[in-house]
């Protein structure tokens, strides 16, 4: 009985890992697009602060939402 429960749990874990990988890929792709064709022009300091804030928020949210 535990084997069945573990097998089902592993499928769910793989699905979560696949979605997490897709989220990271999308984040990097959007980062590249924003770097090459920015929607608005800001100073270098603002870009750095925005990058740090967005990256931290992305990682913290994924750590909290993925147990």
| Average pLDDT of adjacent 10-residue blocks, the chain of 67 residues | 50 77 89 86 89 88 75
> Residue 23's closest CA among 61, 64, 67?
61
Cα–Cα distance for residue pair 65/24, rounded to 1 Å: 14
pLDDT reported for residue 23? 86
Query: Do residues 65 and 19 lie in contact, with contact meaning Cβ atoms separated by under 8 Å?
Result: no
pLDDT reported for residue 9? 56
The pTM (predicted TM-score) of the whole model is 0.53
pLDDT reported for residue 6? 47
């Amino acid at each position: 009985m535990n084997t069945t429960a573990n097998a089902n749990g592993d499928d769910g874990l793989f699905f979560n890992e696949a979605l997490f990988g897709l989220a990271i890929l999308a984040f990097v792709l959007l980062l590249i697009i924003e770097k090459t064709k920015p929607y608005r022009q800001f100073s270098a300091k603002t870009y750095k602060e925005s990058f740090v804030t967005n990256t931290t928020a992305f990682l913290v949210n994924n750590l909290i939402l993925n147990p």
